[in-house]
Each structure stands twice: as structure tokens, then as C-alpha cells.
Amino acid sequence: MDVTDGIVIDELKKPYFVWFEENWVHDDVLHDHQKGQLVYVESGFQYITIEEKIYLLPQNHAVWIPPNAVHKTNSHSEKIKLMIMFANISTKNPFYRDVNVFSVPPVLKEMIKYAEKWSKVITPDNDENIFLKALFNELPRFVEHSLTLHISLPKDQRLTKVVEYLHTHYQHEIQMKDLGDEALLSFRTLERIFKKETGLTLSKYQQMLRIIKSMEFLSSGNLTVSETAYKVGYKSVQAYTRSFFSVMQFRPTDFMKTI
């Protein structure tokens, strides 16, 4: 259960609740809601941990968080504009049972911005209900494809130091075989356990860290594609572009057009 400005979300006697913040500040505490939750980043970028996976929300992107999914906000840019919309979901559409991260199309963006008029309104409003019911009903069709903007956090405690090392040194050339020493495991055993826990090899995990971090830098608007490539550890823009495309199925320049 979560409390927003003194409002207990799950105790509200209304099917929808809108919450807009100009400069977002949120406790870094795991919590859940009985309602589903749509989080839209109007500007800035936000990291969110959902069910032990870390997701990046760049500018003009949103995430659907299913009801009762345990989550928390993580580090974010200095200034961030967020729109959060809670909804009681009764449909059996499988979309609403999964986490979905997606680029927000213009029509949905305008609908979200229009809904700002109901921000923090706790009394029932028929017009609000009609409008937001239509928005959430169409949400699966607004999402053309979900992005792989997440990495899993392993539960096995033997991998804690390995993950910390990867997160700290992702931009460097890492000798993966040496990481066995961090876990007190042979490299072969480490690689097997790591892939079982995260779904990725150590090298792929590092690649995902680099790509996700690069999207954070690109979202800030302070670095060019070339500067970003070198900052996250690539030796050439071409290598970075190839790596980015292999993960995202579009290029860094395509991403910059959406932010």
C-alpha cells in the first residue's frame, strides 16, 4: 500500500486517480497497489524497480505496472515531470498482467496531458471516469511493441558482488573470467548461475547496462551520440550503433527523435 501526499491510494472510493508532479520526489521504498499504474515521463528520466527488475523510463516513455506488482522508484534526473494514473482493471486482457515499457504515441500523450486537470482530485467525477476508462481500454492498442529496457537483479547472494562490479565498471573492458573470484566460483559455474538468475550471460548483461545507461545520457540532451558512445565504453560510434540496434531494433538517432 502506498500513501501519496497523505492520500492512501487503495482506500480511494473511485476507479481512477491521477497524480501529476512537476519535480518528482518519491521515497525509495518497495510498495504495491491494488490498482494498476501507468507512469509517464514527460521530461527527464526515471529508473523503476518492478518485481526485481530495473526499468529505465526515458523522456516520452511510459510503463504499465500491473496491480499488486511490488515496485519502487530509483535514481532519476535532477528535474523530472511525471504523470501517474492509477486504475482498477477488471478486463482479462493479458496486456494488463505484464509490465510494459513503451514509447508514448502523440494521441496518447495528448490524452495523458489532458487528464492533468484531474490531478490529485479525490472526489468521484463522472467525466474523469468516462475519459480514463476510454484511455485505459485503448492502452494495449497504443502500445505497438514493448521495449527491452530492463535488467534483472539476481536473487543468489553469491552474485551480489559480481553485479555490483558490473554496475560500477560497465564502461570498462572487463575480463569476465576474473569475475569468478568475486563470487568465489569457477567462471563456468558463475556463468551458468548468472544466466539462470538473469536470463543473460555476463557479457550480454554488461551490454544491456551500457545501452540502458546510454539512453539515460541521450535523454539528458547534454551529450551527442558520439560522446555517449565513448562515455559508456564503446571504442567507435559504429560499434555502439550496432550494439544499440541489436538490443533495441532501432538506432540511437531514431531514439533521439522521440525525446
pLDDT digit string, tens, across residues 41-86: 887 778 888 988 888 788 788 999 999 999 988 766 567 788 999 9
- Note the pLDDT of residue 3: 46
Is pLDDT at 25 greater than 80 in this prediction?
A: no
Domain 3-142 has CATH 2.60.120.280: yes
Which amino acid, 13? Answer: K
Q: What is the end-to-end Cα distance of the chain in Å, rounded?
A: 32
CATH topology of domain 155-256: Arc Repressor Mutant, subunit A (1.10.10)
- Note the pLDDT of residue 44: 76
Closest CA to 35 of 54, 7, 55: 7
Of 111 and 258, the one with more pLDDT: 111
Runs of H (alpha helix) within the chain? 106-114, 126-142, 160-169, 179-183, 187-198, 202-220, 225-231, 237-248, 252-256
> What are 140-190's pLDDT values in tens digits?
888 765 666 778 888 899 999 999 999 999 999 999 989 999 899 999 999
Q: Tell me how far the alpha carbon of residue 90 is from its chain's centroid.
A: 24
- Note the pLDDT of residue 53: 85
- Note the pLDDT of residue 105: 84
Is pLDDT at 1 greater than 50 in this prediction?
A: no
pLDDT band at 5 (very low <50, low <70, confident <90, very high): low
By DSSP bridging, strand 7-8 and strand 46-50 are unpaired
Q: Tell me how far the alpha carbon of residue 52 is from its chain's centroid.
A: 12
pTM score, two decimals? 0.76
The most confident of 39-43, 99-103, 193-197, by mean pLDDT: 193-197
Here the cell at position 230 is 565513448
Per DSSP, the residues of 88-102 read: ------GGGGS-EEE
- Note the pLDDT of residue 103: 81
> What are 104-125's pLDDT values in tens digits?
888 999 999 999 999 999 899 9
- Note the pLDDT of residue 21: 78
Here the cell at position 215 is 539512453
Of 220 and 201, the one with more pLDDT: 201
Angstrom distance (rounded) from CA 93 to CA 251: 31
Is pLDDT at 9 greater than 50 in this prediction?
A: yes
Closest CA to 96 of 65, 69, 71: 65
> What are 211-247's pLDDT values in tens digits?
988 988 888 778 999 999 999 999 999 999 999 999 8
What are the φ/ψ torsions at residue 152 (nearest 5 degrees)? -90, 145
Domain ranges of the chain: 3-142, 155-256
